[in-house]
Amino acid sequence: MTASAPSSPALRRYQGVAPTLGERVYVDPAAVVIGDVTLGSDTSVWPCAVIRGDMHRIRIGERTSIQDNSCLHITHAGPFNPEGYPLTIGDDVTVGHSVTLHGCTLGNRILVGIGSTILDGAVVEDEVVIGAGTLVPPGKRLESGYLYMGSPCKQARPLKDSEREFFKYSASNYVALKDQYLQEQQS
């Protein structure tokens, strides 16, 4: 990881803490990444996404994409929750458009469908698909190997082998796309 001094309006320091970027990270100029945020190598943050690590930490793994209009935040420590809830996302995760992630933990190889919301203290284990528009309530645990859908979410069915293979495909596809965007910026 290389520490990043904010070099664009997209990367902002908060209370002396700047986002930390791994190698070959793409943050779109129209996105905002603030404060105590770490982005792993080959991660991408797309237009109008907001990642706000102002009152707790946000850690995002490698080859993860945070797509357009997504909002990522935390829960601060306080009298109602002494530890607060950081936001942690693993490797090879695809966060779809307009997703809200708030103080939750996501493992590796996950697809979060468009318009989904995952709330405080929720834990999503490795290899899970969350259908579009799904609401994961506070404190809920989603077991590895399943598709979850609904508001509130329910376990719909086990994942197919083709869906498990899609995790790496989707992550690789977004790595290739962000590489094209980085190349365009250098031209």
Q: What is the mean pLDDT of the chain?
A: 95
pLDDT at residue 46, as a whole number: 98
Query: Is the pLDDT confidence value at 5 over 60?
Result: no
Q: Average pLDDT for residues 69-84, to the nearest whole number?
A: 94
Query: Is the pLDDT confidence value at 2 over 60?
Result: no
pLDDT at residue 61, as a whole number: 98
Query: Is the pLDDT confidence value at 117 over 50?
Result: yes
Query: Is the pLDDT confidence value at 3 over 70?
Result: no
pLDDT tens for 15-67 read: 999 999 999 999 999 999 999 999 999 999 999 999 999 999 999 999 999 99
Number of domains in the chain: 1
Q: What percent of the chain has pLDDT over 90?
A: 92
Rounded distance, CA 129 to CA 136, Å?
12
pLDDT at residue 8, as a whole number: 84
Q: Average pLDDT for residues 169-186, to the nearest whole number?
A: 96
Query: Is the pLDDT confidence value at 1 over 70?
Result: no
> What's the CATH number where 19 sits?
2.160.10.10
Rounded distance, CA 133 to CA 91, Å?
22
Query: Is the pLDDT confidence value at 111 over 80?
Result: yes
Query: Is the pLDDT confidence value at 6 over 60?
Result: no
Q: Average pLDDT for residues 146-166, to the nearest whole number?
A: 97
pLDDT at residue 153, as a whole number: 98
The DSSP line for the chain is -EE----STTEE-BTTB--EE-TT-EE-TT-EEEEEEEE-TT-EE-TT-EEEEEEEEEEE-TT-EE-TT-EEE-B--BTTBTT-B-EEE-SS-EE-TT-EEES-EE-SSEEE-TT-EE-TT-EE-SSEEE-TT-EE-TT-EEPTTEEEETTTTEEEEEPPHHHHHHHHHHHHHHHHHHHHHHHHHH-
Range of the structural domain that residue 99 is part of: 2-186
pLDDT at residue 187, as a whole number: 84
